[in-house]
Structure 1
Amino acid sequence: MLLAGRVRKQEEVAVIQEVLEKHFKKKLCPQSLFSKENVLKLLSKLSTQISTLESKFSHIVWTESMRRLAMLVGRALEFCEPVLLIGDTGCGKTTICQVFAALANQKLYSVNCHLHMETSDFLGGLRPVRQKPKDKEETDTARLFEWHDGPLVLAIKEDGFFLLDEISLADDSVLERLNSVLEVEKSLVLAEKGSLEDKDSEVELLTAGQKFRILATMNPGGDFGKKEVKPCS
């Protein structure tokens, strides 16, 4: 599944299957591997709330491509791997992310990427102080701006799912800010926030929990107006 899931042409999938069958002396059956029974078995393994799938996502038609997508994403999430889904518009990329977030009973934070996207769109930023509680009016009278967490920071703090939709539209310099989150440590230094209130010389360091997951979707680079994500990103 891993090798064939990284290629986009059916001819390349056939070559991989042929090589595996030749060297492992065993016949592979993709139809059986991605059957509805195996998909439901995987979903039941990842979550005890399988009834949520029938109630909230009854509109999903489990075609062969949808079952394959669910199986690949499910196995990646099972091993805490970041997920990049590449496919045409309407093939179910975003829907399958919503399905797994609902099954895990975790909140899904989503950001729609665009050409003029900045790191503050998912990290957060400083905003003017508007309505302050009465108990803080005396202590924070000189404060004009305060930090507001972005979707990525909230997802890390709450052990949620973070989805970057159409990730290929964002600039590479923006995506490089996510590199530390994609590492094994899953850490994020909020240098943009500045030093902590009680420690003037230190900045906040966030470390994601075991349940945090990061996913991304994009259309193939051949689509009009689309581009590929650079390997370094």
Structure 2
Amino acid sequence: MAVIYKNFGYGDDLFGFARFPDAVRENSRFPVLEGLSEYVPERDRAYVFRKEHLKTIQYWTHGAEKNILLQGETGTGKTTLIEQVAARLNWPVFAVGCHGGMEFQEFIGRVTLLPDGSTGWADGPLIAAMRLGGILLLDEMNFLPPEVAGGLNTALQAKVYTIPETGELVKAHQNFRIGATGNAIDGVGKGSYKGTQKQNIALLSRFTLGIRVKYMSVNDEVAMMTGKAPGIHPKVANYLAEIADMARKAASEGALTSPLSPRETISSAQRLTSYSGNLTEEPALQAQCKGMLPCLEMTFLFRWGPDDRTEFIRAANSVANRLGLPITLE
């Protein structure tokens, strides 16, 4: 059964901002779906939204544009942004992890064996999203083979789709949306993402709405970490955000092979809390600073080569010295 909406929520309430001024608040309304769906993503209450993304998302959710493309580096939160918006708006998401071995038929569905022994049709993610009124999320779209990407050209602007195997005509629900993410869509840094395919102009032209997603600010990353790891000392959370920012800049300049993702800083923060246990304030700070090296080692340094490791430790020690923290990585 398709879900419908005629309820609305305000951007400040939905996404965790301080109340907007009345003069602009009415313009911050987002459609909230009625009825529940098992396909709605789980809400991450520690997720930090960025205002600069939400006006573009608002156009998309209201249907001014049906398709949206998010591009940015790995770990900038492209997929999570769509999922967490959907979680607040009660919007079903049918996610597809794109890869080079995909066939277009996987998007449509297949004839399958039913429990009673008969055969029947099982919707693929594209048809399910069209039928129910949800988001087809194409994660890392530029990994798709050209022939599959070509098959999506029609789907990206389709209002109806005929299933060849059954002859059924599926009309796209008014809530049907397509969200896509990708690395190096603009070609910048493409060599860092093995397996990506150059997308044709016809496919990209279906996306007339998009967001270039950058890494979050140090302050936003600190807020995310403290939400995910309540026991982390504020100064330690700030240190982790600072070294992540440093590593990302170093990676963009070629000094490091890869950046740090928010996933890695959050994992580090969560593990560091085990070093301080029930300690608080200064004792917690000292314990977490002392545990920094083994924590970073088990989280990501274990898989870094010697050159990256040496450069990172040198720069991270410099950050600790600047912040006046008793941290020495050796």
Q: Under TM normalisation by the shorter chain, which class is it?
A: 0.5 to 0.7
TM-aligned CA distance change 1:42 to 1:74, over 3 Å: farther
Structure showing the higher strand proportion among its residues: 1
Structure showing the higher helix proportion among its residues: 2
Structure 1 residue 44: Cα displacement: 5.1
Structure 1 residue 41: Cα displacement: 4.9
Runs of 4+ in 1 over 6 A off after TM superposition: none
Secondary structure class of the residue paired with 1:215: strand
Q: 1:105 aligns with which of 56, 68, 90?
A: 90
1:177 corresponds in structure 2 to: 151
Aligned residues: 168
Unaligned runs of 5+ in 2: 1-16, 34-41, 204-330
1:224 corresponds in structure 2 to: 193
Secondary structure class of the residue paired with 1:147: strand
| Counterpart check, 1:92 vs 2:77 | yes
Q: 2:114 & 2:31 partners in 1: Cα distance?
A: 41
Q: Equivalences for 1:153-172 in 2 at 5 Å?
A: 153-172=127-146
Conserved 8 A contact 1:42-1:71: no
Letter in 2 for 1:98: E
Query: TM-score scaled to structure 2, two decimals?
Result: 0.46
Query: TM-score scaled to structure 1, two decimals?
Result: 0.63
| Counterpart check, 1:189 vs 2:176 | no
Unaligned runs of 5+ in 1: 1-35, 50-54, 195-202
Q: Give the structure, 1 or 2, with the largest relative contact order (CA under 8 Å, sep 6 or more).
A: 1
Secondary structure class of the residue paired with 1:46: strand
| Counterpart check, 1:74 vs 2:58 | yes
TM-aligned CA distance change 1:230 to 1:42, over 3 Å: farther
Instruction: Show CA shifts across 1:123-169 (max 9, x none).
Output: 11123x2521xxxx7xx5xxxx4321111111111111110101110
Percent identity reads: 29
TM-aligned CA distance change 1:119 to 1:215, over 3 Å: same
Q: 2:153 & 2:92 partners in 1: Cα distance?
A: 22
1:214 corresponds in structure 2 to: 178
Instruction: Show CA shifts across 1:32-78 (max 9, x none).
Output: xxxx659x9589501458xxxxx93332234xxx4323332222332
Letter in 1 for 2:136: F
Conserved 8 A contact 1:124-1:147: yes
2:13 corresponds in structure 1 to: none
